[in-house]
Amino acid sequence: MVRVLFVCLGNICRSPTAEAVFRGAVAREGLQHAIEVASAGTADYHVGKPADKRARAAALARGVSLEAHRGRQVAVEDFSRFDYILAMDDENLRNLLARCPARYRDRVRLFLAFAPEAGRADVPDPYYGGPEGFEQVLDLCAAASRGLLAAIRRDHGL
Ligand code: 4NP
């Protein structure tokens, strides 16, 4: 089993979206048995809460459901459990690296490293902005999910 964890600040907007978009891509290629997908936040503000209403609506309009999501915070066990620990932005990355045991540091990367064609490093935080921010999150997650799935297939012979 290859395990992938998406991480943002609150675990109610970006990382639940990335989780659901990537899970859809995995299912379309029939790889659900081989790739486990989850998400978490660096902060604890929204533990146990559903995904943001605006993120849920934007995702549903593209046929992606975040309805089952409940927020959780990154735990130290995540660093040993997950093979790919993918930060939505540079602040999340620095926060993860500050908590990550030294032997697992190479598991922690920026999600958009898998979408070089996007021409940016961060999935911008949509929380304090308008609806277009949530569309941008979905677009970036779709692009990086394609690159990530191709990389996992190549690296793990799937
Ligand atoms: P996320 O967005 O990190 O993409 O889930 C945010 C959610 C909540 C807050 C900030 C960003 N907040 O400050 O509560």
- Per-residue pLDDT tens digits for 54-66: 999 999 999 999 9
Residue from 78, 89, 122, 125 carrying the catalytic annotation: 125
C-alpha angle with apex 100: 96 to 105, nearest 5 degrees? 95
| pLDDT tens digits for range 1-42 | 999 999 999 999 999 999 999 999 999 999 999 999 999 999
The predicted model gives 70-86 an average pLDDT of 98
125 part of the active site: yes
For residue 156, the CA-to-ligand 1 centroid distance in Å is 33
The predicted model gives 117-122 an average pLDDT of 97
109 part of the active site: no
Q: Is the pTM value of this prediction over 0.75?
A: yes
Closest ligand 1 atom number to CA of residue 11: 5
78 part of the active site: no
User: Can you give the residue ranges of every domain in the chain?
Assistant: 2-156
For residue 153, the CA-to-ligand 1 centroid distance in Å is 31
For the chain, the C-alpha Rg in angstroms (whole number) is 14
Domain 2-156 is found in CATH 3.40.50.720: no
**Cα separation values, 103 from 8, 99, 108, 142, Å:** 22, 12, 11, 30
11: left (phi over 0), alpha (psi -120 to 50) or beta: left
Contacts of 44 (CB under 8 A, 6+ apart): 73
Q: For position 59, what pLDDT does the model report?
A: 98
| pLDDT tens digits for range 83-92 | 999 999 999 9
Residue found by looking up tokens 């459990």 in the block? 81
